[in-house]
Amino acid sequence: MYKIRTYNQISDRGLRRFPMDKYVIGPDLVDPDAFILRSHKLHEESIPETILAVARAGAGVNNIPVLNTRGGGLWCSTRPAPMPTR
């Protein structure tokens, strides 16, 4: 099972996309495989060696430091939803 540590309020709607039989998700997980965050700044965090990926729920990556991880360090940023037009 993969362990994903969350920071900030991440929508349950998005987290439900992770099958519960393959992922454990929560803010207090020890030695996680990945982080999902919004505005939390990781620059002051101790990044565990177990981290394979960091996902930014929103635009930008200025709150994510360059990572040196065992898997090569993958990060991704989700695009904000388009604004409705009239």
Supply the pLDDT for residue 84. Answer: 47
CATH no., domain 2-77: 3.40.50.720
C-alpha dist (Å) from residue 80 to 5, 25, 42, 62, 83:
21, 22, 20, 15, 9
C-alpha dist (Å) from residue 9 to 14, 39, 58, 83, 85:
11, 10, 12, 21, 27
52-58 own/partner pairs: CB under 8 Å, 24+ apart:
57/8, 57/10, 57/11, 57/14
Q: Is the pTM of this model over 0.85?
A: no
Report the share of the chain in percent with pLDDT over 70: 66
* Domain locations along the chain: 2-77
The answer to whether residue 2 scores a pLDDT higher than 70 is yes
The answer to whether residue 21 scores a pLDDT higher than 60 is yes
